[in-house]
Structure 1
Amino acid sequence: MPRPPNPEVRSRLIEKGAEIIHRLGFNGCGVQDITAAAGVPKGSFYNYFESKDAFAAAILDEYWRAIESNYVSILEDDFVSPLKRVERHFSELIEYHERQKFTFGCLIGNLALELAAQSSIARSKLKALLRTWTAALAKCLSAASEAGELPLAREPQDLAATLIEAFEGAVMVAKVEQSGRALRRFGTVALPRLLA
């Protein structure tokens, strides 16, 4: 009788696998690279994940939990005005990428570029995460409109999607250039104009 899966091994696979995929890309590493980084036998990978695509969905879930806890939660801070929350949300994300020296980019954006056309599992997960992020941002933007900080004619859902799209584009360019110029332009040009 096979042993039941160990949740610690699954967590280690996700943690170490996310690191290696973030660094090398999804197609730049194989299951053997992931299991070696996690220090587990290659054959055990499939005890925890049906496929490498299912693994991508699992690491996206874990990545989103960290983003939600550290950055999306800023949008819910009722002690700060809604517009300031939006600005702080993006400034904290920019600082995160600065600390990473623009090397890794955003795992959501990276995997969207790499997997959206080839994996329905990853595409579904990415769409769900982007919808969740957009909804959280739109809720804060709606509160900003109600507080008179944004024109009421602005559609919060569309504005939220546009902000995320502009930010993710800036993250991609920052990764290519290995420089913060694109993120600084987002923060000093795009963000203020979109929120005006």
Structure 2
Amino acid sequence: MNRGRKPEHCRDSILEMGMELFDRNGYHGTGLKEILDACQVSKGSFYNFFGSKEDFAIEIIRHFQARAFDCWNLQADQPPGCHAARLRHKIETEIQTSQAHCFRMGSLLANLSGEIGAASDAFRNAILGATHRILDALEQDMLQCQQEGSVRTDLDARALAELIWNCWQGALLRVQVEESTAPLSSMVQLLWERVLPPQPSPDKDAKPTP
């Protein structure tokens, strides 16, 4: 007799466990049996939700990005001050609570990009799609910051968004090696205090220093 799937073994809980396993062991280091054992589901139950391990990884990307955006949009406007200050506060909060959805999403994309980004068109498109959606959101943040005068305008908003994301992804790799979030904190401090603020206009009449 088919007992069916236990109620607690829902699709979301399997995705959550898969995220933890990929975080810990990587995609190639996580076998299907390990996923099934950790989730306490049968192979048949797993395949009711996901067509393959590759589909499972792609669904993890989509699932956690949706949750990350929900979390980001819910909290982005809470702190007082200009949008640039609120954005920095939110990012620093993500760093402090390194298990938060946005932090984990960035870590997942960094790991999968290096491990399986070129393994198949499906993986590549999923990672590219997730990255482009993040860049689109950051671009809108930078546009808002530019309009309020809190971020430089000599570079377009998309270029600033890509700079933030590229620095974040690079710092995440160091976080994994050093087992410390210090590289992320240093990156945010440098960007928000030295790189992103409005740049003084060059004085055309100023004489060069001898």
User: How many equivalent pairs are there?
Assistant: 193
Partner of 2:122: 121
Give per-residue Cα distances to partners, 1:33-82, cap 9 Å, x unaligned.
11111111123322221221111111112221232122354445596422
Structure with the largest fraction of helix: 1
Larger displacement relative to structure 2 (74-83 or 40-49): 74-83
Instruction: Give me the whole-angstrom Cα distance separating, in 2, the residues matched to 1:103 and 1:63.
Output: 8
Instruction: Give me the whole-angstrom Cα distance separating, in 2, the residues matched to 1:64 and 1:104.
Output: 6
Partner of 2:85: 84
Aligned partner of residue 10 in structure 2, secondary structure: helix
- State the identity as a percent: 25
Pair 1:137-2:138 in alignment: yes
1:1-196 matches, cutoff 5 A: 8-75=9-76, 80-97=81-98, 106-196=107-197
User: In structure 2, what residue type is equivalent to 1:184?
Assistant: S
TM-score (norm 2): 0.79
User: In structure 1, what residue type is equivalent to 2:126?
Assistant: K
Structure of higher RCO (CA pairs closer than 8 Å, 6+ residues apart): 1
Larger displacement relative to structure 2 (25-34 or 12-21): 12-21
Does the 8 A contact of 1:115 with 1:122 survive in 2?
Answer: yes
Give per-residue Cα distances to partners, 1:97-131, cap 9 Å, x unaligned.
289xx999711211111110113222211111111
TM-score (norm 1): 0.84
User: In structure 1, what residue type is equivalent to 2:194?
Assistant: R
User: In structure 2, what residue type is equivalent to 1:147?
Assistant: E
Instruction: Give me the whole-angstrom Cα distance separating, in 1, the residues matched to 2:58 and 2:195.
Output: 31
Moved >6 Å (runs of 4+): 2-7, 102-105
Instruction: Give me the whole-angstrom Cα distance separating, in 1, the residues matched to 2:69 and 2:158.
Output: 18
Does the 8 A contact of 2:80 with 2:86 survive in 1?
Answer: no
Q: Who wins on radius of gyration, i.e. which is larger?
A: 2
Q: Provide the alpha-carbon RMSD of the alignment.
A: 2.9
Does the 8 A contact of 1:174 with 1:183 survive in 2?
Answer: yes
* Alpha-carbon shift at residue 21 of structure 1 (Å): 1.4
